[in-house]
């Protein structure tokens, strides 16, 4: 049995992929009657009432789980909340005797960065390593789906591809469906990935290249727009400063060789399957 926490929003493709592979999946929900929770039931998932702020409820949910998949929600809980939630799940899984924990962290969070969203994940990783719990850490790079963040919609509708990086700065990106495929592979054979930290990326391209790929994918004209960082919230500003100064360095060819059954979507192919404003 696989227990999944924190993926009812953007990371819901993880649940869809697990169910598509015929696995028994339970999903934690603070409110099992919420529309998104009922939709998951309709897809074949079991719901378990649990709150990421309530470690006792998480421990009850994790009893009997062979694998626990845990993700945070920084946009809703903030960096401090994400760290607290991740640690709560890890300690609950250890206390309940769960077989294996798969934590969705972030590439770069293997060390302190000064970026709140990465340092929150780093704190969770450190706690996981101190627990007597078999685990695997999946570390995605910048999500392709970030293009659809609400503050980008106006620019996209006007034919601009906005990003708070210079036009010629390469950025590695990951499609969430690819993260879901790797997570399902790890969940089916957790012992094969025990103790590993696996960085994940689907493609690498500059802002200018992304705008050109989007133009080809949609048959609409898109131009790159560099977003000024001084107007961003501090956490986002620090993240994009880190992306320009350090950034992601995932070995894409090696990753494809190791997980040949994953789609590893290029940005253009991913963009062609989305509904753009």
**Domain with 103 in it: what CATH number?**
3.40.50.720
* CA dist., res. 124 & res. 109, Å (int): 10
Integer CA distances (angstroms), 156 to 98, 143, 168, 175, 231, in order = 44, 17, 19, 19, 18
Inside any domain, residue 85: yes
Query: For residue 57, what are the domain limits?
Result: 2-145+173-204+249-264
The pLDDT-based confidence of 34 (bands split at 50, 70, 90) is confident
Residue 161 near residue 225 (C-beta atoms within 8 A): yes
Inside any domain, residue 244: no
Average pLDDT over residues 163-185: 98
Inside any domain, residue 272: no
Average pLDDT over residues 35-56: 91
* CA dist., res. 47 & res. 51, Å (int): 12
Inside any domain, residue 277: no
The pLDDT-based confidence of 74 (bands split at 50, 70, 90) is low
Count of domains forming the chain: 1
Report whether pLDDT(156) > 80.
yes
Tell me the chain's radius of gyration from C-alpha atoms: 19
* CA dist., res. 154 & res. 180, Å (int): 29
Inside any domain, residue 212: no
Inside any domain, residue 237: no
Inside any domain, residue 9: yes
Return the percentage of the chain with pLDDT > 70, whole number: 99
Inside any domain, residue 166: no
pLDDT of residue 267: 98
């Amino acid at each position: 049995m696989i227990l999944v926490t924190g993926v009812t929003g953007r990371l819901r493709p993880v649940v869809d992929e697990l169910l598509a592979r015929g696995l028994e999946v339970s999903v934690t929900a603070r409110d099992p009657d919420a529309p998104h929770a009922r939709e998951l039931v309709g897809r074949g998932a079991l719901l378990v009432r649990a709150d990421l702020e309530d470690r006792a409820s998480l421990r009850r949910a994790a009893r009997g789980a062979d694998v626990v998949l845990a993700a945070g929600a920084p946009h809703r809980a903030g960096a401090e909340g994400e760290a607290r939630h991740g640690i709560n799940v890890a300690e609950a899984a250890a206390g309940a005797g769960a077989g294996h924990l798969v934590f969705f962290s972030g590439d770069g969070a293997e060390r302190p960065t000064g970026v709140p969203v990465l340092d929150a994940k780093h704190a969770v990783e450190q706690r996981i390593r101190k627990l007597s719990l078999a685990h695997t850490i999946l570390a995605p790079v910048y999500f392709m789906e970030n293009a659809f963040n609400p503050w980008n919609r106006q620019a996209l509708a006007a034919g601009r591809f906005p990003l708070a990086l210079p036009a010629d700065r390469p950025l590695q990106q990951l499609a969430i469906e690819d993260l879901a495929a790797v997570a399902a592979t790890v969940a089916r054979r957790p012992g094969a990935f025990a103790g590993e930290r696996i960085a994940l990326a689907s493609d690498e391209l500059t802002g200018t290249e992304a705008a050109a790929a989007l133009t080809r994918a949609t048959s609409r004209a898109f131009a790159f727009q560099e977003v000024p960082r001084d107007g961003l919230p501090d956490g986002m500003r620090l993240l994009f400063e880190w992306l320009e100064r350090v950034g992601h360095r995932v070995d894409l060819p090696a990753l494809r060789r190791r997980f040949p059954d994953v789609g590893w979507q290029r940005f253009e192919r991913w963009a062609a399957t989305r509904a753009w404003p």
